[in-house]
Amino acid sequence: MRTFGTNEFLFIVYALQWTITLTAIAFVGGGVVGICLALLRISSRRLLRVITSGYMQFVQGLPLLILMFVCYYAPSLFGLEVSAIAAAAIALTINSSAFLGAIWESALRAIPKAQWESADALAMTPYKTLRFVIAPQAIRLALPSTVGFLVQVIKQTSIASIIGFVEITRAGQLVSNATFEPLKTFLAVAALYFALCFPLTQISLWLERRAARRGSRA
Amino acid sequence: MSVVVANNIRKSFGPLEVLKGVSLDVRGGEVVALIGRSGSGKSTFLRCLNGLETVDGGDISVAGHAMSRNPAALRKLRRDVGIVFQSYNLFPHLTAGENIMLAPVQVKGESKAAAREEALRCLTMVGLGDRFDTYPDMLSGGQQQRIAIARSLAMQPKVLLFDEVTSALDPELTGEVLAVIENLARQGMTMLLVTHEMGFARRVANRTIFMKDGIIHEEGPSAEFFANPKTPELAAFLRSEIG
């Protein structure tokens, strides 16, 4: 019987690249869709706002695990085979988009109406107002919670282990099954998650303190 | 020549009729003060003149542009109309200089270098030539308001609107802002100002308008207007304001 040694630990460390890859895909994909959602939420058209809000609330009310099952199994109904990483990436992207959209929407709404108004009065177009006046202020507001959410995404990738995608949690399960040393194994997995997340939470806290100190200045 | 023509302007907020047919004609180089109690409709009227409020009735023409709901036409009109707000509304993430340069570069398509030169000229005009790289939150209210004036000036407007621009300021800071406005009046800038500074209106405005309950209740050349109010309502208002 194998014991939990260096090789077993390295096997889990090797899977770290997949945790990071999945996080990156989910965060970038969710970010792109999230920006669109946030902008649709502040649109002047009511119908767009309502539809967007419906999507965001639906996704936010759905357990990620279920979303991942749906993304993994539903395509087979149409005779399509989806790899575990593709299903996990799609599910995490959908999930992140709804939460990032909500974070950024509230940041956009936190910018006083008077800022839009003075840009309007200077004959700026809505696009330029958003780009040069509103977005720079909203980004600063949203940065701490965005980095905080990145930490959530890292931890949520562990759910991809359920559909058999080998990131560090799944690697841990495999090692645990072979060694019968679940405690050692999953403590090692936990240490790796912590090593990824801790610097990010520190950055998030630092950004928050900086924002409080500087107000809305550059 | 008339720079601002407003004809029978009506405006309601829900069931509340704020403007009940206001007409005004402002000639080039004229300085007109709008006074009245809060709720009389003077600020709303001013905001109608650059389309920040839409009107329910009547027509407006400013600097030769007819008021329109079409966004592109409205932007054309706004290029020629500057407005300064009570709460300054500077862009807090930009320096004083960048605040002033933004619209000339992004709206008029001026080069950065030309806009910088113009911004510096406008800052000097309001007495803050040395504050180009300072962020708004490092400046006093009076200085912020003067930068807001410079920001409007940089667009080279044909008329400037002032919406109670000293109401948020301490008395000692009010003076420095009024001095800038008075200086602009001397240079022949066409201006409309909603104000509570009666002494300033009397001294600087060619004409003063008293608004009450959404209409122009009384108007006249400032000297005459303040010395001999014709209606008892204006007389009572002036007594309460001057004390």
Domain ranges of chain A: 6-214
Predicted local confidence at residue A72, as pLDDT: 95
Backbone angles phi, psi at B7, to 5 degrees: -125, 110
Region A41-66: what's the mean pLDDT?
Answer: 96
Question: Does residue B139 surpass a pLDDT of 70?
Answer: yes
Q: Does domain A6-214 have CATH number 3.40.50.10190?
A: no
pLDDT interval class at A215 (50, 70, 90): low
Q: What is the pLDDT of residues B49-76, one digit of tens each?
A: 999 999 999 999 999 999 999 999 999 9
Question: Does residue A162 surpass a pLDDT of 90?
Answer: yes
pLDDT interval class at A18 (50, 70, 90): very high
A123/B91 CB distance under 8 A: no
Q: Within 10 A of B59 (CB to CB), how many other CB atoms are there?
A: 12
Question: Does residue A125 surpass a pLDDT of 60?
Answer: yes
Across chain B, mean pLDDT equals 95
Backbone angles phi, psi at A36, to 5 degrees: -60, -45
A118/B91 CB distance under 8 A: yes
Q: Residue B235, Cα to own-chain centre: how many angstroms?
A: 25
Question: Does residue B209 surpass a pLDDT of 60?
Answer: yes
Q: How far is A106 from chain B (nearest CA, A)?
A: 18
A contacts of B153 (beta carbons < 8 Å): none
Question: Does residue A216 surpass a pLDDT of 70?
Answer: no
Predicted local confidence at residue A217, as pLDDT: 59
d(CA B93, CA B19): 36
Out of 2.60.40.420, 3.40.50.10070, 3.30.470.10, 3.40.50.300, the CATH code matching B2-80+158-242 is 3.40.50.300
Question: Does residue A34 surpass a pLDDT of 60?
Answer: yes
B91/A140 CB distance under 8 A: no
Question: Does residue A218 surpass a pLDDT of 70?
Answer: no
Here the tokens at position B68 are 């329109």
Among the partner residues B52, B82, B152, nearest to A117 by beta-carbon distance = B52
Return the residue of A nearest to B103 by Cα.
Answer: A122
| Interface membership of A118 toward B (CB under 8 Å) | yes
Q: What is the pLDDT of residues A73-103, one digit of tens each?
A: 999 889 888 999 999 999 999 999 999 999 9
pLDDT interval class at A181 (50, 70, 90): very high
Return the residue of B nearest to A126 by Cα.
Answer: B71
Question: Does residue B80 surpass a pLDDT of 70?
Answer: yes
ipTM (interface predicted TM): 0.93
Q: Within 10 A of A44 (CB to CB), how many other CB atoms are there?
A: 7
Q: What is the pLDDT of residues B159-192, one digit of tens each?
A: 999 999 999 999 889 999 999 999 999 999 999 9
Strand partners, B61: B5, B66
Domain(s) of CATH 3.40.50.300: residues in chain B: 2-80+158-242
B92/A217 CB distance under 8 A: yes
B89/A118 CB distance under 8 A: yes
B contacts of A119 (beta carbons < 8 Å): 91
Strand partners, B66: B61
B135/A218 CB distance under 8 A: yes
d(CA B63, CA B56): 21
User: With pLDDT > 70 as the criterion, what percentage of chain B qualifies?
Assistant: 100
Q: What is the DSSP string of A89-120?
A: HHHHHHHHHHHHHHHHHHHHHHS-HHHHHHHH
- Provide the chain A residues 126-165 that lie in CB contact (below 8 A) with chain B: 126, 128, 132-133, 136-137, 140
Question: Does residue A71 surpass a pLDDT of 90?
Answer: yes
Q: What is the pLDDT of residues A40-49, one digit of tens each?
A: 999 999 999 9
Predicted local confidence at residue B230, as pLDDT: 94
